[in-house]
Every structure is written in structure tokens, then in C-alpha cells.
């Protein structure tokens, strides 16, 4: 975001802020209807929407309600049946184990989410820490690893209902891939997007494998991982300029 601003692209970052038990009923749908759409309706004219991971689903749904200059989806899951069946079953068992305590709290703590990520790719988790163990402790690569891990493990919890939606409706039932997701009585689908769309995906993403991506007609496939494609060492030479070119190429689209 900072780089795009430096490049002359006016940006605004939507942060959903601290999540408390009072937010327990929030889902992807309510984030679209009660947070993002009112904001978009308050600004002057259509905007470029960019969404990363689940943020891509939120941006996608909003772009089915209002015209956009462009929609950019980064590492966004859609076909949840693209995950191996054994992994989806594992996630379902993990969620069933944690569900009652999460419901009591009204929240899904980051520790539960991390458990889910580890379940998706345990081999890559071990490989990641083995590589870290081989780094000189004071090296730039080791310091960067620690900074990224601190960031990845320090996120806000999810509202309980959003966690329920994620693990039951998405990972288990694949309502998006089956074309069964509706938000505000509008079916969310590729053909419902009210503007041009570009997808940025990764061939080595363990969190959102390529088989789970929406596979839009406009798609750029990179080699970086889920986090690396956005903030990795190569991102300033790959994703960032590609995103900038895509946005600027649609400045006059509406």
C-alpha cells in the first residue's frame, strides 16, 4: 500500500479493527453489507477494489453489488473442493474440536486459525522451520523470518460466525465453488462482477493452492507462497508493479 502511494496511486486500506465478542455474529456477508458497501456508497464514484485471501471474497461480493473500475483478487480461495479431501476432513475434525469453546467466547482465536493452516500443509511447516534453523541468527533473512512470523501470528481473532462460515460452509461444503453463495440476495459468481477483474494466484501457495483459485480468464500465476507473493523479497519486482499496471490500465474504464 505504501509503495502504491509512492507511485502516485491514491489508496485507502480498510481495516475491520479490533474484534470483540460483541462482533460474534459477523460473517463475510455482514462485512460486505454493513462495512464495505456503505463506505463505497459514500465515496465519489466507482473505485478499484483489491482483496487479499478472504478479503478477495469480500471485495468480490461488493463488486457484484456496485460497479467498480477494476477488481483485483490476490491469493483468493473459491473452489474449496480443490483442497485434498483428507485435508478438508482434517479441518472439519479440528473445527469440531474447537467449536464449542469458540462459540462460548464468541471468537475464533488466531491459534485456532494457525492450527488450521498447519493442517493444510504440515510438510511445508516443517520445511519452513528447518530452513530457519539453518540461518545465521543475526542475518537479515533470519530477522525477516521472525518479523513475518510475528505478523502472521499476531492477527485479530475472527468473529465466531465467520469462523463457522469458513470451516462449515466454505472448507466443508464449498458453497462458493458450487455457486451457492449469495450476499444480500445477489448470487456471487464471476459473471456477476460489475467491472473488469484480474486474479493474482500462486503455483506454490499452501494456504490457497492453485486448484482452489477461481481461475478467472485474466489470471497471473506466480511462484511465491501465500504470504511471500505480497510481502516477500521478490514482491516489489513481481506482484506490486503488476498490480499497479492493472489498476492504471483501467483508470478510464467507467
pLDDT digits (tens, 9 = 90+) for 28-72: 999 999 999 999 999 988 999 999 999 999 999 999 999 999 999
Within this chain, do residues 93 and 205 fall inside the same structural domain, yes or no?
no
Which candidate, 198, 252, 208, 251, places its Cα nearest to that of 229?
208
pLDDT band, very low/low/confident/very high, at 121 (cuts 50, 70, 90): low
Residues whose CB falls within 8 Å of the CB of residue 7, separated by 6 or more in sequence, listed in order: 244
Residue ending a domain, choose from 159, 191, 222 = 159
Identify whether 207 is part of a domain.
yes
N-term to C-term CA, the chain:
23
pLDDT for 6-31, tens place per residue?
A: 999 999 999 888 999 999 999 999 99
Tell me, yes or no, whether 145 lies in a domain.
yes
Please report, for the domain that includes residue 230, its CATH number: 3.40.50.1820
For residues 180 and 239, state if they share a domain. Answer: yes
For residue 135, CA distances in Å to 127, 146, 232 come to 13, 11, 17
Same domain, 185 and 144: no
Beta bridge mates, 96: none
pTM for this model (two decimals): 0.90
187 shares a domain with 151: no
For residue 254, pLDDT over 60 is answered with: no
Asked whether residue 99 falls in the same domain as residue 67, the answer is: no
Which residues, 6+ apart, have CB-to-CB distance to 64 below 8 Å? 183, 186, 187, 188, 189, 192, 193, 194
Residue 224: inside a domain: yes
Residue 231 predicted with pLDDT over 90: no
End position of a domain, from candidates 159, 186, 206 = 159
Q: Which domain holds residue 93?
A: 86-159
Q: Is residue 56 part of a domain?
A: yes
Q: Are residues 237 and 179 in the same domain?
A: yes
Q: CA–CA separation, 177 vs 161, rounded Å? A: 20
Q: Is the pLDDT of residue 252 over 70?
A: no
**Residue 51 located in a structural domain:** yes
Domain total in the chain: 2
**Beta carbons within 10 angstroms of residue 2's beta carbon:** 8
133 and 187 fall within a common domain = no
> Looking at the structure, do residues 25 and 41 belong to the same domain, yes or no?
yes
Crossing angle of helices 140-153/110-120, nearest 10°?
120
For residue 14, is it within any domain?
A: no
| Alpha helix segments (H runs only) across the chain | 2-6, 28-31, 37-42, 54-65, 85-105, 110-120, 122-133, 140-153, 160-164, 228-231, 239-249
Give the Cα separation of 220 and 183 in Å (integer).
27
Is 119 in the same domain as 235? no
Query: Are residue 67 and residue 119 in the same domain, yes or no?
Result: no
| Residues shown for the chain | 254
Model pLDDT for residues 172-220, shown as the tens digit of each residue? 999 999 999 999 999 999 999 999 999 999 998 988 999 999 999 889 9
DSSP string covering 43-70: SSS--EEEEETHHHHHHHHHHHHS--SE
Let me know if 36 is exposed, middle or buried by CB neighbors in 10 A (0-12, 13-18, 19+): buried
Q: Is residue 188 a part of any domain in this protein?
A: yes
Indicate if 92 and 66 belong to the same structural domain.
Answer: no
Is 122 among the domain residues?
A: yes
Amino acid at each position: 500500500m505504501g509503495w502504491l502511494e509512492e507511485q502516485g496511486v491514491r489508496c485507502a486500506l480498510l481495516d475491520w479493527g479490533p474484534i470483540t465478542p460483541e462482533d460474534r455474529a459477523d460473517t463475510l456477508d455482514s462485512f460486505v453489507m454493513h462495512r464495505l458497501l456503505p463506505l463505497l456508497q459514500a465515496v465519489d464514484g466507482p473505485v478499484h477494489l483489491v482483496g487479499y485471501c478472504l478479503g478477495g471474497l469480500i471485495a468480490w461480493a461488493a463488486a457484484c453489488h456496485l460497479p467498480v473500475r477494476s477488481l483485483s483478487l490476490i491469493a483468493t480461495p473459491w473452489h474449496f473442493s480443490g483442497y485434498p479431501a483428507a485435508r478438508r476432513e482434517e479441518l472439519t475434525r479440528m473445527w469440531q474440536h474447537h467449536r464449542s469453546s469458540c462459540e462460548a467466547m464468541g471468537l475464533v482465536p488466531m491459534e485456532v486459525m494457525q492450527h488450521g493452516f498447519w493442517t493444510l500443509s504440515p510438510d511445508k511447516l516443517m520445511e519452513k522451520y528447518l530452513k530457519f534453523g539453518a540461518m545465521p541468527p543475526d542475518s537479515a533473512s533470519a530477522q525477516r523470518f521472525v518479523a513475518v512470523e510475528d505478523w502472521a501470528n499476531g492477527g485479530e481473532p475472527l468473529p465466531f460466525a465467520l469462523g463457522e462460515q469458513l470451516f462449515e460452509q466454505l472448507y466443508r461444503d464449498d458453497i462458493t465453488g458450487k455457486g451457492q453463495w449469495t450476499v444480500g440476495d445477489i448470487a456471487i459468481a464471476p459473471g456477476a462482477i460489475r467491472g473488469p477483474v484480474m486474479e493474482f494466484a500462486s503455483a506454490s501457495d499452501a494456504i490457497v493452492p492453485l486448484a482452489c483459485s477461481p481461475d478467472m480468464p485474466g489470471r497471473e500465476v506466480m511462484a511465491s507462497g501465500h504470504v511471500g507473493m505480497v510481502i516477500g523479497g521478490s514482491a516489489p519486482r513481481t506482484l506490486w508493479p503488476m498490480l499497479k499496471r492493472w489498476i492504471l490500465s483501467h483508470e478510464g474504464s467507467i
